[in-house]
Structure 1
Amino acid sequence: MRVVHQASPWRSLFTDDGTLKLSALTAPLSHLSTHLSSPFTSLADVHAWQLSLAESLVHYDLPAWRISEVISDHNAMLYRQAISLSLDEMRAQGWGEPPVDYCVLLLGSAARYESLLGPDQDNALIIDDYPDHRHVEIDGYFQALGERFTQRLDEAGIPLCRGHVMARWPMWRKRLSEWRTQLSIWSADRRVKRVQQTNILLDFAPVAGNSALAERLAESIASTLPKASLFMHEMAALLDELPVALDRFGRVTSSPGLAAPHHQAVNLKQQGLLPLISAARLMCVRHRCPEMSTRARLVALDQAGELSAAQSALLVAAFERLQQRLLDQQRYNKAHGHAADGWVDMQRLRDDERLLLKFDLQQIKAFVQQARAA
């Protein structure tokens, strides 16, 4: 039997006599909210609840990009709880209150509110300026905080970053003045590693602490990077390291260097979303557009006259469909006990989905080339 319709809560919104029936609309989330509000729920339990949350949102016919925003909000809540628990633990151990203002930053997809079901940790810490003679005392406090909250998140199911992009490491834990100096050093020439590190920092959002520190860092980025011509050239050149998943005949395929789980798997995160995200980030830095999410950046580039309205709309649609393909695959993987990664099984796509995917990747490839040449 072929199932052609899944019952939707929207179809139960009205009773036979025309009365609004809000309980029918909230029913898919009711059991989840009861579980989440339990005072005995651990961070690991709350994180494990996320797949059920995603499934419930699918039941509301929400598109993947909307669901990814909710997942990102949920992860941000886990961050805040992990930080709060860590601060409570430090107070109980005699560390006292934070000695100066601070701001914990989300980085990457979490900062763009584009997380799906398998993110790891990417975070940083801005510490308000303090005199050098207090460095051991104050940095020691925030090192302890960074180690504690990242460990809690790892135990909850958001794994530690394998590239060490976390507030527990000095590279990603600095005073505001040190972040400004770091930006000046990173942008002074076109060294690949420095550009890569800056790219990581460019997508950030405050999650705990004093958000004014994040705003001041954003101002420094906007005033420093667009004027650094050699750095911007290298940032554009690095787009070549993210080839779109099309071969020279225009067929959808993964690069030979990527270890595909099987012969019809394509890494749409690495060779679809990331090229689009990187090109949009580059053009927004170049033209001083402060937007953070990929959709907002594409719209901003239209408003700034760097993309036509039609091209912006095509790229937004491509982004949304790639998010959908990845979320569908990750839900399938999770249901079958596999990892939620960036690979999509082409055998699971219908013919129309394959054609749309090829079209979307062509639009992304043209956009990347446009950003590279500008």
Structure 2
Amino acid sequence: MVLTERKDLALLLESGRLKKIRAWRQSMVIKLLEEGKSAREVSLAISRFNEALAIEVCNYFARRFPWLKKCVFLEFGSGGRGEQVLGSDQDNGLVLPKEKLDEAQLEEVCQRIVLTLDGAGLPLCPGKVMISEEKWRGTLEEWKRKILFWLENPKERGPWQSGLILDFKPLYGEKEKIFQLRTEVLETIRKHPVIWRLLVEEILQFRVPLSFLGNFILEKKGEERGINLKKSILAHLINATRLLSLKYGFVKAHTLERLSFLIQKGHVEEKMGKELQNLWEWAQAKRLRQALEQKGEINFLNPHLLPKEEKKLLKKRLNYLQKFVDLVSMSANYGL
């Protein structure tokens, strides 16, 4: 986002026109889709818009509470990868300085930050992965300990998957130490086969929505039956790609960049890799369109309502996804 747009965001925040920020984001997405931009390009634009928003919200409160300048605002999950869509909720954390802060004021400011982001179009996280929750705040050393503890103790992580805490990046504040922390965490995973196997086992807890006979596996949501694009397709693809690229030392976060690396280095057959990239683009495009059209749950889709050829292509790509997950699973059995 260019500097003039950042200034406009700051002015809108100062005047409390959060609805205007929501409309700005939506009109930007409409324009990009009308121009024929890819799902990757649109998702990246949304992510950058949301990053700029988070930074300006932090700047806004730092002017009133200067101690916030000593903190680092972290972005997790899809925001950390640059893969957000309209309706992506908040996944954030806060790195605190070593010096003691006023607890009541800290709690108040964190609550106000997440509510401001919510008002500006970044919904509250249903899993409460937000700085308003004490567990998502801590000093740098506390963050290092808790991330490694969560990785080593899957049952302590809660309902969110490990991928959420592995794809993180700093948005506001001193960034260098956070990049060092991320490098340390990733290197720890690579050097400890037990943690690696736990991460692979986490992927295998959920099934790719395609049966052995090649039929779609549907879930029920209210009166409808369909596939959850995020949990049943993208989660498998993103998590498996992250683990395999990490195994070979590739640390960039975007799923398509990770897949390109794996293809280029020969770790994934080119045909499989391209089909997985196409699957990511397809699923993300569906989510973008459904969010824009406000068709209920943006992640839910009935594949039987798709045109015949599109349905056939989806089955083919889901078959490749299952083979890819199996490939990553085998890597756990043979270690790093």
Aligned residue number for residue 156 of structure 2: 193
Q: Does 1:170 align with 2:134?
A: yes
SS in 2 for 1:135: coil
Q: 2:258 aligns with which of 277, 287, 297?
A: 297
Amino acid at match of 1:168: S
Q: 1:261 to 1:277 in 2, by over 3 A?
A: farther
Alpha-carbon distance change, 199 to 301 in structure 1, aligned in 2, over 3 angstroms: same
**Higher RCO (CA-CA < 8 Å; seq separation 6+):** 2
Aligned with 2:36: secondary structure?
Answer: coil
Q: What's the CA shift string for 1:267-297, capped at 9, x where partnerless?
A: 1221111110111122233333211011111
1:363: how far off? 1.2
2:95 aligns to what? 126
Is 1:339 matched with 2:296? yes
Which one-letter code corresponds to 2:296 in the other structure? A
Matched, 1:253 2:239: no
The change in CA–CA distance for 1:192 and 1:232 in structure 2 (over 3 A counts) is: farther
Contact 2:9 2:56 in 1 (8 A): no
Q: Distance in 2 between matches of 1:249 and 1:323?
A: 26
2:36 to 53, 57, 61: 61
Alignment match, 2:291: 330
Give runs of aligned pairs for residues 1-374 of structure 1, distance below 5 A. 42-88=17-63, 91=64, 95=65, 97-98=66-67, 101-128=70-97, 130=98, 134-137=99-102, 142-187=106-151, 189=152, 191-194=154-157, 198-255=162-219, 258-259=220-221, 261-263=223-225, 265-332=226-293, 334=294, 338-346=295-303, 348-374=305-331
- Partners in 2 of 1:352 and 1:99 — Cα distance? 53
Q: Which amino acid aligns with 1:259?
A: K
Residue 109 of structure 1: how far off its partner (Å): 0.9
Separation (CA, whole Å) in 2 of partners of 1:113 and 1:260:
31
Question: Aligned pair in 2 of structure 1 residues 180, 37: CA closer, same or farther (>3 Å)?
Answer: closer
2:235, 2:155 → 1: CA distance? 17
How many residue pairs match? The answer is 323
Structure 1 moving runs of 4+ over 6 Å: 35-38
TM-score scaled by structure 1? 0.78
Q: State the partner residue of 1:29.
A: none
Larger radius of gyration: 1
Q: Where in structure 1 are there 5+ consecutive unaligned residues?
A: 1-31
Q: Distance in 2 between matches of 1:172 and 1:324?
A: 31
The percent identity for this pair of structures is: 26
5+ residue gaps, structure 2, are 332-336
Cα–Cα, structure 1 residues 261 and 371, in superposed 2: closer, same or farther, change >3 Å?
farther
Please give the per-residue CA displacement for 1:223-251, whole angstroms capped at 9, x wherever unaligned. Answer: 31212222211111111222111123212
* 1:290 counterpart SS class: coil
